[in-house]
Amino acid sequence: MRSATKILLDESEAPRRWYNLIPDLPEPPPPVLHPVTHQPVGPDDLAPLFPMALILQEVTTDRYVDIPDEVAEIYRLWRPSPLYRAHRLERALDTPARIYYKYEGVSPSGSHKPNTAVPQVFYNAQDGIRKLTTETGAGQWGSALAFACGLFDVDCEIWQVRASYDGKPYRRSMMETFGATVHPSPSDRTESGRKILADDPDTPGSLGIAISEAVEVAATHDDTRYALGSVLNHVLLHQTIIGEEALVQLAQAGETPDLLVGCTGGGSNFGGLMFPFLREKWAGRMSPVVRAVEPTACPSLTRGTYAYDFGDTAGTTPLMKMHTLGHDFIPDPIHAGGLRYHGMSPLISHLYEEKEIEAIAKPQSECFAAGVLFARTEGIVPAPEPTHALAAAIEEALRCKESGEEKVILTALCGHGHLDLPAYGAYLAGEIVDKDWADADVQAELAAALAKLPAMST
């Protein structure tokens, strides 16, 4: 058993429930607040944007939520996803550590995003919603939502961050192939987009701006709602299918993890893998260290402030207490577009504040080096986002080489990089530059963005 390379679950062993971490938290998380009144939001405040089923999942204190049959049936197209042991990477590193990765690149759009896109569209379709709007950074979320909308015959309109719209034309083609309409963001189709363009016509855009545009269109049309691909509790809930499967697979391999490591943009693949393991840890059945890895160009956990902030740039969303660089902060257009978000999931932020998880930041050159080594040993070209987790896994494996420790390391390889090959091309040509966080301009930008955090009365 122990030397298995690929651990697959039968459909009959597939988990049938998502896991909600909230009732097991040692301390309850701070409430989400109304952007104007600063009072905790109620279900009615969110109803223009989301279907009630998702709003209830956002706040439920039930430990488990059943996966609807219709969703489970679609999951079967790619789930359960494989867990691999990285034997060849271990050998290349000459490490006594055992490295496992849960591979989400087998999904229709090539990442973990369909795990939540499918149930989100399902609940909206059940409500009779005809159209969903959303933003996309790297294009991964847009592709996943476009795919899911197609299955339920719901229209899909997507604002793609300008830098990625220009740099990743194949992602746009994929979204359009699945039937979606795609606009670059900022666009002249919304008030928030026009405002940003008037200030800076050449802006590369940001996730925060694209969210403002998609939310604006959903809020002003009755038959249209909005879908978010990360950050919110219900998104992380749906992603726990990753960790629930991985728990069973790792047990089948006869292993208990010592280190869980994952990349964090808004925190959904990370939370999805980690939450079931944290439950096991709090129940005393294992004691892994849990480590988040973010890019040095957008280090919300390690350099941000823990404060109430808006989820979007225009300041229209409810206020969430999270680690944030400020909703005005526009990160450098790094290749890991999915990690370019100014804030962090409130649940992940809360866990970090409570010291239940650790966080580190990695420059993109180190991450691409890890991605290339991984491709050359394991045969999968990773998306730029999970190369951050791979870089941290490799770092730990090399430490094990020094100390002789046989640690078991588990990471989420949350997507493949087949549509990110221009970024690999740039890396191989020596064209990748790392953002220096100590740079005076960056510090001034951050200070300006943090100064615009909403003033709270408490």
**Residue with smaller CB distance to ligand PLP, 265 or 299:** 265
Identify the residue whose tokens are 């009615």. Answer: 44
Write down the least CB distance from residue 171 to ligand PLP, Å. Answer: 10
Interface contacts to ligand PLP, rule CB under 6 A:
111, 113, 138, 140-141, 230, 263-270, 338-339, 383, 385-386, 414-415
Write down the least CB distance from residue 11 to ligand PLP, Å. Answer: 25
**Residue with smaller CB distance to ligand PLP, 318 or 417:** 417
In angstroms, what CA-CA distances link 122 with 72, 74, 227? 11, 10, 12
Write down the least CB distance from residue 234 to ligand PLP, Å. Answer: 13
Write down the least CB distance from residue 331 to ligand PLP, Å. Answer: 13
**Residue with smaller CB distance to ligand PLP, 116 or 212:** 116
**Residue with smaller CB distance to ligand PLP, 98 or 416:** 416
Q: Are 244 and 207 in contact (CB under 8 A)?
A: no
Which tokens belong to 54?
Answer: 């998702």
Q: Residue 207: which of 117, 300, 313, 307 has the closest Cα?
A: 313
Distance CA 201, CA 181 (A): 22
**Residue with smaller CB distance to ligand PLP, 253 or 320:** 320
**Residue with smaller CB distance to ligand PLP, 276 or 386:** 386
Distance CA 95, CA 292 (A): 22
Write down the least CB distance from residue 388 to ligand PLP, Å. Answer: 9
Write down the least CB distance from residue 430 to ligand PLP, Å. Answer: 25
**Residue with smaller CB distance to ligand PLP, 107 or 212:** 107
Q: Residue 239: which of 247, 229, 225, 251 has the closest Cα?
A: 229
**Residue with smaller CB distance to ligand PLP, 267 or 288:** 267
Write down the least CB distance from residue 435 to ligand PLP, Å. Answer: 18
Look at the chain and count its residues: 458
Write down the least CB distance from residue 62 to ligand PLP, Å. Answer: 23
**Residue with smaller CB distance to ligand PLP, 184 or 295:** 295
Q: Residue 234: which of 116, 65, 72, 58 has the closest Cα?
A: 58
C-alpha of 221 from chain center: 27
Write down the least CB distance from residue 359 to ligand PLP, Å. Answer: 12
Identify the residue whose tokens are 């969703």. Answer: 71
